Amino acid sequence: MTGLTHLTMAAALDGLAKKDFTAVELTEAHVKAVETIRPLNAFITETPEQALAMAKASDARRAKGEAGPMEGLPIAVKDLFCTKGVPTTAASHILDGFKPEYESTVTSNLWRDGAVMLGKVNLDEFAMGSANITSYHGNVVSPWSPGEVGNWSRQLVPGGSSGGSAAAVAARAALGATGTDTGGSIRQPAAFTGIVGIKPTYGRCSRWGVVAFASSLDQAGPMTRTVEDAAIMLRSMCGFDPKDSTSVDMAVPDFRAALTGDIRGLKVGIPKEYRVEGMPAEIAAIWDQGIAWLKEAGAEPVEISLPHTKYALATYYIVAPAEASSNLARYDGLRYGLRVEGASLKDMYENTRGAGFGKEVRRRILIGTYVLSAGYYDAYYNKARQVRTRIKWDFDEAFKQCDVILTPTAPSTAFAIGEKMDDPIQMYLNDVFTVPASLAGLPGMSVPAGVGSDGLPLGLQLLGRPFDEETVLRVGQVIEKAAAVTATPPFMA
Amino acid sequence: MSYIQGETGDWEIVIGLEVHAQVISNAKLFSGAATAFGAEPNSQVSFVDAAFPGMLPVINEHCIEQAVRTGLGLKAQINLHSVFDRKNYFYADLPQGYQISQFQQPIVGKGEIVLDLPDGSSRTVGVTRLHLEQDAGKSLHDQHPAKTYIDLNRSGVALMEIVSEPDMRTAEEAGAYVRKLRSILRYLGTCDGNMEEGSMRCDVNVSVRKPGAPFGTRCEIKNVNSIRFVMQAIEYEARRQIEIIEEGGKIDQETRLWDTTKFVTRSMRSKEEAHDYRYFPDPDLLPLELDPEWVEAIKSTLPELPDDKKARFIGEYKLSPYDANVLVSEKARADFFETVAKGRDPKLAANWVTGELFGYLNKAGKEIEESPVSAENLGGLIDLIADNTISGRIAKEVFEAMFETGEKAADIVEKKGLRQVTDTGAIEASIDSVLAANADKVAEFRSGKDKLFGFFVGQVMKATQGKANPALVNEILTAKLKG
C-alpha cells in the first residue's frame, strides 16, 4: 500500500477513523519507505520494531475508543530530541553511544497523542548549519536532487539544520517530522524541500530533553506537507512544561480550527528592509506573487519598516555561538559519549573535544568563547544583546500596523553540495530572512509558494505576533491554496 | 586599632571575607535531588546535576526564600529583580562546564554584621552582597594511584556566597565575623554552619598597608574550613606580605591555599593564570522577580536575632554584656537560659548556665543540645537553693550528680539525704556537743579571740555533713557563745 505514504496527516486520520487501514498498515508502509530513501541518508537511527510496536498499541487504543489527536501517525524525530532507550547523537561524534534514560517533553507529548516513531533523523551537528553538511553521520541529500538515485547529477542540500526531517517528509517517508529552529533551521529546509515548517513562539514548546544549541533561541516545531498537518502536529507538540523555566504557561489553542481561510481585512506587513541588495529576481517575484494572492483573498498589504534588520545576522552570530560555547562545555568525555584518554585531565578534554566536535561546531565554540571573553564582552556579546532588544522593538512597532508579516524564507532555492562551502559567511547568509524573528522569539512559518527557474521549491515566510500562531497558520494556508504547488521531488518513496 | 610591628614600623592588615554557606534545603538549587551529608557517592545526583544533554535547571523556591531570609537577617537590601549567570570554566567535578551563579545582579545587596569582640565592645562590618550559586562536585584524588574519582552528590547544592567589605583589621575580628555570621545563619535556620562537613567555607582576602595608606595588593586564600584556620592564615599571610614588602619586594595578586599541616599559605595560581569566567546571563533561567509582599511575609516570620536578643537580655534580665554575648551566641543556649530563668532569679540562672553547665559541657565535649541536665531540671535545682532545701555548696554536689545521671535535683537530694537541716533542736544538739568537745576554744573565744567563730561553724557543718542551715547555725551559735 504505497499510497499510504503519500497521504496527508489529516487524510490518514480520516482513513484510520474509517478503518480503511490500520496504524500497523500505515506504519509498515512507512517503515518500508524509510528503507527506500536510504540513499538520502536522512535517518541516523531507524526504529522499525519500536514503530510497529507503537502502531499496534495505537490500533488497540483506537479500538477502545481512546484515539488521540495524532493516533497512529508515523513521524520522524530530529536526532536532537532525547528519546528513551534510543541513541541520541545530535549528529555529533561526541555523543557516541549515548542512549538517554529519559524522553524529551515534546516527543512525550507526541507519543501521548498517539504518534508513532519511525526513527531519528539526520541534522547538522548540534543543529549548527544551513545545509545539513556538518553531520558526523554524513550529509543529507535532498530528494529534489536531479539524476539517478544515489548517482545524482547534482547533489542538492535539503537545507539545515533540520535537513533529515525535511528530506524524510518531502520524500514521503514520514507524514511529518519534528524539527528545531534556532535561526531558521525549520523554515529554511522546509523552503528548500517544498514542505511546510513552523517555528512557534519561543516558550510554546518545551526545550526539556532537547540537546541545546542556543538556549534563548532554540524552539521545536513541526515539519509537514500541508499547513493543516502543521496545525495538527503543532498542537500536540506545544504546552507548558514546569521542567523548562522558559516555557510559557498558556493554553494551547486548537490550531486546526483557526484555518478558516478568511483573511479579509487582515493587514499584511511587507518589510522594506527585506528587499536586500542582490536579491534574485525570482525570489522578488514569488514575494510579489504572495502579496498579490493575499490581496485577492481580501487582505491589505502595508509597507512596514524593521530598521535594525541589517544587524540581525551579526547579532545572531554572536548570541548563538556565545550560548553554544557554554552549552557544549558539558561534552567533556567524563560522564557519557566519546572519551579520548589523555595523560592529564586537560589532555583528555583536548583529545575528546578535538576528536568529538566537527569543524563548524569548533568554529562556533571559538567565536562564542571569544565574544564572551574579558575585554570583548561589551563590544560583542553585550552590544548584541542591546541590538537584539532593538530588533524586538522593531517588530513590536511593526505589529501596531499589521497583523502578520510576509517575506521570502530564503534568499535562493536549494544549492548543491560544494557550493557556498568555502566561505562560512556565505553560508550564514542563508539565514538572513529567518534570523530576525528568531531573535525576537516570534512565530514564523515557511509555506511552499512555487518553484524557481531551476524547478526547485520556493517558500514564503509568515511571521506573527507572539503566541499568534493561529494567524500565521491561517494566512499560510491561504498562500498554500493559492499557490497550489503540484511539483514533487523526483525521488519519493 | 592593633597594628603589626614590622622592621619599618607599624602595619595594618586589611581583611575581607567571602563565606560560602550551604543553604538548608532538602533539594538542590536547580534540581530535586537530595542534599543529605554523608550519602553514598553519586547517590544524590539527578540528570540535571550530572549535566546530561537537554536537561534544564528549575529554581527551587525554598532556596530563594532562604536567601531572602538571610538577607533580611543581615539587615540587607533585598533585590526584587536579580539574575542568574553562568560562570564558565572546565573542571572534572563541574559537569555543566559552568556554575550557575549571580554576578552583576545578586539577590541581596548591602547589609551589615555587628561583631561582638572579646573585650565586650562591638564593631560593625559591612556586607557587600549575598548571591546564590551552585556548588560543584567533589574530586577524590586518593582512591586510585592514577585516576581521580568524582562524587557529584554536592553538585548543584545551593550555596549563599556572602561577601564582606574589607572592613576587618585583625585576625580576631575576622574570627568574630565568621562566628557572628554563623550564629545569625543558625538563628535563621538557613545554614547549619557546620564547617567540618563543609557547609560553611571561607575565602579570605588579605592585604597589608601602612596605617592611613591606600589598600595594598591583596591575596585570596581559598577554601579555609575552620575559624581557627581563618585566623592562623591571616596572621601568617600578613607577616609574609610585610616581610616581602620590607625586603623591597612586591605583592603579586594571586590565589593561595592554607596548608593545614605546615601552617603556611601556598600559591595556587597567579593573576595571569586566573580563569576568564566569561560570565553571561543563563538563558535557561528567566530573571528572578520577587513579589514585595512575599518578602514582607518572610520578614514577619524572622526570629529574634542575636543582637536583639542580647539587648533584651541586658535590659530585661540585667545581665552583663559579656554574659549576654555568651548566652545569645547560640540560639539553643539562649533558649536554655530563658527556660531556666523563667520565674527565677535571672542572675542566678545565668551564673549556673554559663558557669557550672558550660564548664561541665565543655569538659565532656558536649553541645548544649546534648546536655544531660535539662533546663527544667537546672531550674529545679535553683528552686531548691531558693527555698533553703539545700545550700549553694551542696547544690554544686547535686549538680555533679545530675550531670552524671540526668536525674532531677530533688530526687538526688532525697536519695542522698542532702536536705538542709532546719530543725533548731537538732542544730542545737550538734552545737552543744561541738562546744563541749572544745571547751578550751570556747574559753579562748570568750576571752576575745573572735576569729574562732568560723572554726565553730566549720565544726558544726562537719558534724552535720554540711546539711545544717548556715543562717540558723550562726544564730544559735552566737547565742550559745554569748551565754
Same domain, B207 and B344: no
Q: How far apart are CA B228 and CA B179, in angstroms?
A: 11
Write down the pLDDT at residue A278: 80
Same domain, B136 and B56: yes
Locate A448 and state its grid cell: 511552499
Average pLDDT, rounded, for chain B: 93
Locate A330 and state its grid cell: 558539558
Same domain, B279 and B316: no
Q: What is the mean pLDDT of residues A331-336?
A: 96
Q: Which residue in chain B has the smallest CA separation from A95? A: B53
Q: How confident is the model at residue B483 (pLDDT cuts 50, 70, 90)?
A: low
Nearest to A489 by CA among A249, A158, A180: A158
Q: Compute how many other C-beta atoms are within 10 angstroms of the C-beta atom of residue B248.
A: 6
* Catalytic annotation, pick one of A58, A161, A325, A412: A161
Which chain A positions have a beta carbon within 8 Å of B50's beta carbon? 335
Measured in degrees and rounded to the nearest 5, phi and psi for residue A176 equal -170, 170
By DSSP bridging, strand B9-22 and strand B200-209 are antiparallel
Q: What is the mean pLDDT of residues B357-361?
A: 95
With an 8 Å Cβ cutoff, are B92 and A345 in contact? yes
Which residues, other chains included, contact A243 with Cβ-Cβ below 8 Å and sequence gap of 6+?
Answer: A105, A206, A208, B56, B58
pLDDT tens, residue by residue, B116-165: 887 778 899 999 999 999 999 999 989 998 889 999 999 999 999 999 99
- On the CB side of B105, how many CA atoms lie within 13 Å of its CA? 14
By DSSP bridging, strand A176-181 and strand A74-78 are parallel
Paired strand residues for B462 = none
Same domain, B25 and B125: yes
| A326 and chain B in contact, CB less than 8 A | yes
The Cα of A489 is separated from the nearest Cα of chain B by a number of Å equal to 34
Which residues, other chains included, contact A206 with Cβ-Cβ below 8 Å and sequence gap of 6+?
Answer: A104, A105, A106, A220, A239, A240, A241, A243, A244, A247
pLDDT at A427 over 90: no
A2 or B26: which carries more pLDDT confidence? B26
Question: Could you give the number of structural domains in chain B?
Answer: 3
Q: How far apart are CA B314 and CA B322, in angstroms?
A: 10
- On the CB side of B389, how many CA atoms lie within 13 Å of its CA? 18
Paired strand residues for B112 = B126
Domains of chain A: 1-493 (3.90.1300.10)
Q: What is the mean pLDDT of residues B190-213?
A: 95
With an 8 Å Cβ cutoff, are A335 and B95 in contact? yes
Which chain B positions have a beta carbon within 8 Å of A323's beta carbon? 280, 283
Locate B201 and state its grid cell: 567555607
- From B280, B298, B316, give the residue that closes a domain: B298
- HEC letters along chain A: CHHHHHCCHHHHHHHHHCCCCCHHHHHHHHHHHHHHCHHHCCEEEECHHHHHHHHHHHHHHHHCCCCCCCCCCEEEEECCECECCECCCCCCHHHCCCCCCCCCHHHHHHHHCCCEEEEEECCCHHHCCCCCCCCCCCCCCCCCCCEECCEECCCECCCCCCHHHHHHHHCCCCCEEEEEECCCCCHHHHHHHCCEEEECCCCCCCCCCECCCCCCCCEEEEEECCHHHHHHHHHHHCCCCCCCCCCCCCCCCCHHHHCCCCCCCCEEEEEHHHCCCCCCHHHHHHHHHHHHHHHHCCCEEEEECCCCHHHHHHHHHHHHHHHHHHHHHHCCCCCCCCCCCCCCHHHHHHHHHHHHCCHHHHHHHHHHHHHCCCCCCHHHHHHHHHHHHHHHHHHHHHCCCCCEEEEECCCCCCCECCCCCCCHHHHHHHHCCCHHHHHHCCCEEEEEEEECCCCCEEEEEEEECCCCHHHHHHHHHHHHHHHCCCCCCCCCC
Write down the pLDDT at residue B1: 58
Which of helix, strand or coil describes residue B112? Answer: strand
Paired strand residues for A267 = A300
Residue among A209, A245, A349 whose CB faces B286 most closely: A245
Contacts of B35-40 with CB under 8 Å at 24 or more apart are B35/B157, B37/B197, B37/B199, B38/B197, B39/B153
How is residue B303 annotated by DSSP? P
Which residues, other chains included, contact A5 with Cβ-Cβ below 8 Å and sequence gap of 6+?
Answer: A29, A30, A33, A172, A173, A175, A493
Run of H or E residues at B316: helix B306-317
Q: Which residue in chain A has the smallest CA separation from B285? A: A245
- From B395, B416, B437, give the residue that closes a domain: B416
Q: Which residue in chain B has the smallest CA separation from A324? A: B283
- From B398, B416, B434, give the residue that closes a domain: B416
By DSSP bridging, strand B219-224 and strand B254-259 are parallel
Run of H or E residues at B426: helix B424-437
Nearest to A327 by CA among A180, A126, A137, A179: A126
Q: What is the mean pLDDT of residues A70-94?
A: 98
Q: How far apart are CA B63 and CA B53, in angstroms?
A: 25
With an 8 Å Cβ cutoff, are A245 and B47 in contact? no
Whether A161 is a known active-site residue: answer yes
pLDDT tens, residue by residue, A110-168: 999 999 999 999 999 999 999 999 999 999 999 999 999 999 999 999 999 999 999 99
Residues comprising chain B, all counted: 483
Q: How far apart are CA B249 and CA A484, in angstroms?
A: 82
Q: How confident is the model at residue B408 (pLDDT cuts 50, 70, 90)?
A: very high
Q: What is the mean pLDDT of residues A382-390?
A: 98
Write down the pLDDT at residue B243: 96
Nearest to A485 by CA among A174, A191, A73: A191
The separation between the first and the last C-alpha atoms of chain A, rounded to the nearest angstrom, is: 11
Q: A161 preceded by cis ω (within 30°)?
A: yes
Residue to mutate among A126, A319, A327, A373, with most B CBs inside 10 A, is: A327
Burial of B369 (0-12, 13-18, 19+ CB in 10 A): exposed
On whether the CB atoms of residues A55 and A24 are closer than 8 A, the answer is: yes
Which chain A positions have a beta carbon within 8 Å of B60's beta carbon? none
Paired strand residues for A269 = A302, A405
Q: How far apart are CA A316 and CA A461, in angstroms?
A: 19
On whether the CB atoms of residues B99 and B134 are closer than 8 A, the answer is: yes
With an 8 Å Cβ cutoff, are B88 and A326 in contact? yes
Residue to mutate among A96, A215, A332, with most B CBs inside 10 A, is: A332
Same domain, B275 and B407: no
Q: Which domain holds residue B341?
A: 306-416
Q: Could you tell me what percent of chain A has a pLDDT over 70?
A: 99
pLDDT tens, residue by residue, B58-82: 999 999 999 999 999 999 999 999 9
On whether the CB atoms of residues A248 and A205 are closer than 8 A, the answer is: no
Whether A446 is a known active-site residue: answer no
Same domain, B267 and B338: no
Which chain B positions have a beta carbon within 8 Å of A211's beta carbon? 53-54
pLDDT at A227 over 50: yes
Note the Cα B234 to chain centre separation in Å. 20
pTM, whole model, 2 decimals? 0.91
* Catalytic annotation, pick one of A165, A185, A236, A412: A185
pLDDT at A489 over 90: yes
Write down the pLDDT at residue A202: 98
Write down the pLDDT at residue B375: 96
Nearest to B84 by CA among B61, B101, B104: B101
Whether A216 is a known active-site residue: answer no
Q: What is the mean pLDDT of residues A8-15?
A: 98
Same domain, B253 and B400: no
Average pLDDT, rounded, for chain A: 96
Same domain, B428 and B321: no
Same domain, B313 and B205: no
Write down the pLDDT at residue B54: 98
Residue among A245, A332, A336 whose CB faces B284 most closely: A245
| A376 and chain B in contact, CB less than 8 A | no
Locate A155 and state its grid cell: 547533489
Write down the pLDDT at residue B304: 97
Locate B348 and state its grid cell: 542566678
Same domain, B332 and B264: no
| CATH number of B460's domain | 1.10.10.410
Q: How far apart are CA B217 and CA B307, in angstroms?
A: 34
Q: How confident is the model at residue A1 (pLDDT cuts 50, 70, 90)?
A: very low
Q: Which residue in chain B has the smallest CA separation from A368? A: B278
* Catalytic annotation, pick one of A58, A78, A108, A165: A78
Same domain, B229 and B166: yes
pLDDT at A294 over 70: yes
Locate B21 and state its grid cell: 554557606
pLDDT tens, residue by residue, B450-479: 888 889 888 888 888 888 888 888 888 888
Q: How far apart are CA A180 and CA A157, in angstroms?
A: 17
Q: How confident is the model at residue B393 (pLDDT cuts 50, 70, 90)?
A: confident
Write down the pLDDT at residue A171: 98
Contacts of B5-12 with CB under 8 Å at 24 or more apart are B6/B242, B6/B246, B7/B246, B8/B246, B9/B210, B10/B210, B10/B211, B11/B208, B11/B209, B11/B210, B11/B211, B11/B238, B11/B242, B12/B169, B12/B208, B12/B209, B12/B210, B12/B211
Which chain B positions have a beta carbon within 8 Å of A215's beta carbon? 283-284
Note the Cα A204 to chain centre separation in Å. 14
Residue among A208, A329, A334 whose CB faces B88 most closely: A329
Same domain, B123 and B233: yes
By DSSP bridging, strand B122-134 and strand B111-116 are antiparallel
Locate A36 and state its grid cell: 527506500
pLDDT tens, residue by residue, A464-480: 999 999 999 999 999 99
Q: How far apart are CA A452 and CA A156, in angstroms?
A: 14
